């Protein structure tokens, strides 16, 4: 039975008022994009898309949502990454889990996959240099561009799963030293339905120890930990306190893992293969020269991210 009007609870604040209030709180807490994050938190708690929120700003917040929203805002203000609160992160065509077990994949790393895709498309297609090409009908399923890839420091599986899902590689071996990250990668793999194509392996110590004798790849990719140890305390609280340190800390100059990857990659790449590394913005020259000094590569190139920072090194065998 509905209550008589006099006893009805006063309507809660509108969604617009709630977004405004949260944005102000986030801004005061030093969050970089307070309005965007406020909208995303509200969407997350209400279970709506951003366009649905935009078209319903004058409706009022239900009291049962107010508590959950307050808890979410409190977590964000305490420094938890937005994606951890949402529980997911978009990476290229995939929606993956986001939690403490693995690094939340960054937009730069989406670009790393672009770099790989460009290389894979141009490789072994003699027409690439002439401009002659086959135009595919949308929806036509094509063969993967390369047979087998290795992802060192696979984390939650963003790169490895994208390589298979986008038919860049038929099969990927993903290695990590963190059982927690591999558990997340396994769940992501199951959720996106790529079970057979991505093999996950735990490395104890060197990633190379997780490979079989004679195993070789067309492509090796790594987004290794590359932050110098001494700079970890200067990272934002979201990263420093909520993301796995082993995915970030690359030793004294940040290049410990990059060196291990660079040293072992030539011996595991098939002829015509390539190594793709994500690096810190001031590590390009150093990484390029360490690769060049080895004399194992026909070409070594630094590529920039969308912000114009040196972010990737590509070495061709
Ligand atoms: N780009 C990441 C960050 O800024 C670091 C990733 C890494 O070390 N691989 O937090």
Structure tokens at 208: 């190379």
pLDDT confidence of 188, banded at 50, 70, 90? Answer: very high
Decide whether any atom of ligand 1 lies within 6 Å of the 239 Cβ.
Answer: yes
Closest CA to 261 of 304, 200, 220: 220
Residue 248 CB less than 6 A away from ligand 1: yes
Are the C-beta atoms of residues 53 and 46 closer than 8 Å to each other? yes
CB of residue 222 inside a 6 A radius of ligand 1 = no
> Quick one: pLDDT band at residue 125, thresholds 50, 70, 90?
low
User: What's the CA-to-centroid distance between 44 and ligand 1, angstroms?
Assistant: 25
d(CA 15, CA 50): 12
Token couple for 264:
């072992």
Ligand 1 pocket member 226 (CB < 6 A)? yes
Q: What is the mean pLDDT of residues 291-300?
A: 96
Task: State percent of the chain over pLDDT 70.
Answer: 91
User: Which of 112, 278, 281, 306 for mutating ligand 1's site (highest number of atoms within 8 Å of CB)?
Assistant: 278
Q: Is the pLDDT at 127 greater than 60, yes or no? A: no
Q: What angle do CA 170, 221, 265 make, to 5 degrees?
A: 105
- Closest atom of ligand 1 to CA, residue 278: 9
Query: Probe ligand 1: pick from 152, 225, 227, 255, max atoms within 8 Å of CB?
Result: 227
What is the arithmetic mean of pLDDT over 167-177?
97
CA-CA distance, 303 to 80, in Å (whole number)?
31
Q: How far is the CA of 248 from the centre of ligand 1 (A)?
A: 6
Tell me the three state secondary structure of residue 240: helix
Least confident among 60-74, 113-127, 163-177? 113-127
Tell me if residue 274 falls in helix, strand or coil.
strand
User: How sure is the predictor about 20, in pLDDT bands with cuts at 50, 70 and 90?
Assistant: very high
How far, in Å, is the centroid of ligand 1 from the Cα of 226?
7
Which amino acid residue places its CA nearest to atom 7 of ligand 1?
225
- 277 CA → ligand 1 middle, Å: 12
Query: Is the model's pLDDT at 129 over the cut of 70?
Result: no
pLDDT of residue 5: 54
Distances (CA, A) of 261 to 65, 219, 275: 48, 12, 9
Predicted pLDDT of residue 12:
82
CA of 279 to the centre of ligand 1 (A): 8
């Amino acid at each position: 039975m509905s209550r008589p009007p006099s006893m009805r609870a006063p309507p809660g604040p509108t969604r617009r008022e709630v977004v405004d209030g949260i944005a102000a709180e986030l801004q005061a807490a030093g969050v970089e994009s307070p309005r965007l994050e406020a909208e995303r938190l509200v969407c997350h708690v209400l279970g709506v898309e951003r366009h649905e929120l935009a078209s319903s700003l004058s409706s009022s917040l239900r009291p049962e949502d107010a508590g959950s929203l307050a808890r979410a805002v409190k977590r964000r203000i305490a420094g938890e990454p937005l994606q951890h609160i949402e529980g997911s992160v978009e990476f290229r065509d995939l929606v993956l889990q986001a939690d403490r077990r693995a690094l939340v994949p960054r937009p730069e790393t989406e670009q790393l996959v672009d770099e790989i895709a460009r290389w894979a498309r141009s490789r072994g297609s003699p027409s690439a240099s002439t401009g002659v090409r086959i135009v595919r009908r949308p929806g036509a399923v094509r063969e993967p561009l390369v047979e087998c890839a290795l992802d060192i420091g696979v984390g939650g599986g963003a790169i490895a799963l994208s390589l298979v899902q986008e038919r860049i590689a038929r099969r990927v071996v993903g290695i990590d030293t963190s059982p927690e990250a591999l558990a997340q990668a396994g769940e992501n793999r199951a959720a996106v339905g790529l079970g057979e194509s991505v093999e996950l392996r735990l490395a104890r110590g060197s990633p190379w120890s997780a490979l079989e004798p004679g195993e070789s790849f067309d492509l090796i990719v790594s987004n290794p930990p590359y932050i110098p140890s001494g700079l970890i305390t200067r990272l934002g609280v979201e990263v420093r306190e909520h993301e796995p340190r082993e995915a970030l800390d690359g030793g004294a100059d940040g290049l410990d893992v990059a060196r291990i990857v660079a040293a072992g990659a030539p011996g595991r790449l098939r002829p015509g293969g390539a190594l793709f590394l994500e690096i810190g913005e001031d590590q390009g020259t150093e990484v390029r020269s360490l690769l060049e000094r080895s004399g194992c590569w026909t070409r070594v190139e630094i590529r920039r991210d969308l912000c114009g920072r040196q972010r990737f090194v590509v070495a061709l065998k």
